[in-house]
Amino acid sequence: MFSASLRFSDGVEREVEVPEGQSVLAAAHDSGIDLASQCQVGTCGTCMGRLVKGEASMREGCLTALTRTEVAAGHRLLCQTVAGADPVFDMGYPSTLLDANPLLEFTAKVSRITWLSDSVVQFEVKVPKPVGFRFTSGQYCRIKVPGTDQWRSYSIASGEHERGRLSFLIRILPDGVMSAFLREQARAGIPLEMDGPLGSFVLDDDPRPHVMLAGGTGLAPMLSMLDKIRLMRPAPPVLLLFGCGTYAGLFGTEELEARASYMPTLTVRTCISREPARPGHFQGNPVTVLLPSDVPADAVAYLCGPPGMVSDGMERLTVYGLSPESMRTEQFLPS
């Protein structure tokens, strides 16, 4: 038995007694505190908490979505965290998140499919109003691939006020089941089983300068967050670093240009890693093109992309003087 302390971003702090062999996540659930979580087996990364005091270790031998950099920065998956000495976790989201945005299962309808590049599709669905779906910018949904038993997770790209018209960015892979569905069967009107919202990678209402690092379809939650930041008064400065591998795969450039035109505090840097960059673009990835001067001491950083980009980004931001509590991360694996 040990006692874990959970600190939420709205200042609420809760204590949880964790019996031998139980995870912090399960123990919290048993004491009536539901935390953001999804897979329960250490692969999705949703239940991440950041250790800020004490000790906490995860089950030996489990495959986790965390890199060594992240573990060193205090990140723990609470569904796998089973031992500790008075650990204190920073949860990075408000205690009201799950009550405000209850997890729902529902049927939505495909409304539009737009190919944005040779490998990225914008997928829009309509959620019937009686579902009462609500989410916070940065969260994701799971979609059951029609005709299969497979579920896939995608961040919501549309803004919070568009909760009846959700938009997702989906990377098309040669042998992915969702990719096959999108290539071959998807058309407007098809019903989709979904659940959500999930995830603890959420935007704080924060006037500090924002630095966003987005790799590929990791742009999706940033687009939703930008919709919210734009309406803040005054809107904080945002530097968005967005990277794709090749020009054939690059998407969203016109959208981002437009956003910068109607959101004067937004600066976008688009980078290309595997081909020579054209004028106006940067050579490299969102991490390598990040300069020390891009990261004010009071900045808050949001990172979303493949695991390597996220952990490299955290290291780079640390070198530039940002502390782990000023970083929010979400990573994804292609599937």
Partner 1 sequence: MTHPVPTSAAGTAAALARQYGPYLQADWGYANHWYPGVFSREVAAGGVVGITIGGHDIAVTRDQSGKAWAISDRCVHRGVKMSRKPMCFKDKTVTCWYHGFTYSAETGNLDTIVGSPTDKLIGNARVRTYPTEEFAGIIWVFVGDEDYSPVPPIVTDLPMKVTDRENPIAHLRDPDVVADGIRREVYGNWRLAAENGLDPGHILIHRDNQLVVALDYALPLGLKALKDDAVELIDIEDGPKGIMERFDLQEMFEPVFFNPELGVKARGSRYDPFFRVSAWLPAGLMVESWPEPGYGQYEFYVPIDDHHHMYWEIMVGRATTEEQKNEFQFKFDHFFKPLGLLDFNDNDIMAREATEEFYAKRDGWRGEVLGDMDFSIVAWRKQAAKFGRGFFESPNADED
Interface positions with partner 1 (CB under 8 A) = 126, 128-130, 159, 161-162, 164, 227, 230-231, 233, 254-255, 258-259, 261-264
Cα angle at 79 between 16 and 155, to 5 degrees?
A: 115
Token pair 């450039």 in the structure block, residue: 253
Minimum Å distance from CB 259 to partner 1? Answer: 8
Indicate the residue among 134 and 274 with the shorter CB distance to partner 1. 134
Minimum Å distance from CB 16 to partner 1? Answer: 31
Minimum Å distance from CB 257 to partner 1? Answer: 9
Minimum Å distance from CB 265 to partner 1? Answer: 11
- Other C-beta atoms closer than 10 Å to the C-beta of 171 total 20
Indicate the residue among 89 and 123 with the shorter CB distance to partner 1. 123
Indicate the residue among 255 and 325 with the shorter CB distance to partner 1. 255
Minimum Å distance from CB 66 to partner 1? Answer: 35
Query: Can you read off the two tokens belonging to residue 140?
Result: 């994701």
- 93: Cβ contacts below 8 Å, ≥ 6 apart: 8, 9, 36, 136, 200, 202
DSSP for 48-74 reads EEEEEEEEEEEPTT---S--HHHHHTT
Closest CA to 205 of 167, 231, 240: 231
Indicate the residue among 28 and 125 with the shorter CB distance to partner 1. 125
Q: Which helix H or strand E contains 256, and what residues bound it?
A: helix 253-262
Helices 253-262 and 219-229: crossing angle, nearest 10°? Answer: 10
Minimum Å distance from CB 263 to partner 1? Answer: 7
Strands 140-144 vs 191-198: parallel, antiparallel or unpaired: antiparallel
Indicate the residue among 102 and 147 with the shorter CB distance to partner 1. 102
Given strand 266-272, what is the order of strands in its sheet?
282-283, 266-272, 238-244, 210-215, 300-305, 327-331
Sign of the torsion angle spanned by Cα atoms 38, 49, 314, 204: positive
> How far apart, in whole angstroms, are the C-alpha atoms of residue 273 and residue 243?
7
Indicate the residue among 68 and 129 with the shorter CB distance to partner 1. 129
Minimum Å distance from CB 270 to partner 1? Answer: 16
SS3 state at 253: helix
Minimum Å distance from CB 82 to partner 1? Answer: 41
Indicate the residue among 200 and 270 with the shorter CB distance to partner 1. 270
Indicate the residue among 150 and 253 with the shorter CB distance to partner 1. 253
